[in-house]
Amino acid sequence: MESKINVRILRNAKVAMVPFTDYFQGFEKVDAVRRIFGDKTDEVLKNLKIEFSGRRGYMGVSNIDGHLIVSAEYLNNGDIVDIYLDVIHELTHVKQFMDGKDLFDRRYNYVTNPTEVEAYRNAVEEARRLGLSDERICNYLQTEWISDEDLLILAKALNVKCKPT
């Protein structure tokens, strides 16, 4: 079949990556981040890479090598507090990846997956430190891929009083 394809496709594509600290500066001083990585905080953030995506979305962690994947549109236009909290959330996933945890364990629903609950817990603790109300935190937790019922399950696990909007 391949012999009938009369084109050449170069299959050595490289994902362009940039250092985390080129776009996210000062996170090595954030107590929440230092709690995640401990004494290795400076080293991890210095070596962490970001892949910017042209797709709509938010942030995530590669399950191949643990780098951050960030929607350029979200970084450019998203709410700055949400972006900050998402970085805390995703850095938790980076640490989990480093520890060999399965970030996408299909045995769990998204809102009951222990890796997600831990990541959201770190973000919520930081949101509380910032003085965000439960209503604002609930708004942060509410995403288009979880139902109102799942939002309430997640909020309960995180001790956030929440009413879906």
* Rounded Cα distance, 41 and 71, in Å: 24
Q: Dihedral sign for Cα 132, 36, 47, 103, please.
A: negative
Condensed to tens digits (0 to 9), the pLDDT of residues 14-72 reads 667 899 999 999 999 999 999 999 999 999 999 999 998 877 889 999 999 999 999 98
Summarize the confidence of residues 90-109 as an average pLDDT. Answer: 95
59-61: strand order across its sheet: 18-19, 49-53, 68-71, 59-61
Could you tell me which of 25, 84, 90, 78 has the C-alpha nearest to residue 51? 90
**DSSP code for 50:** E
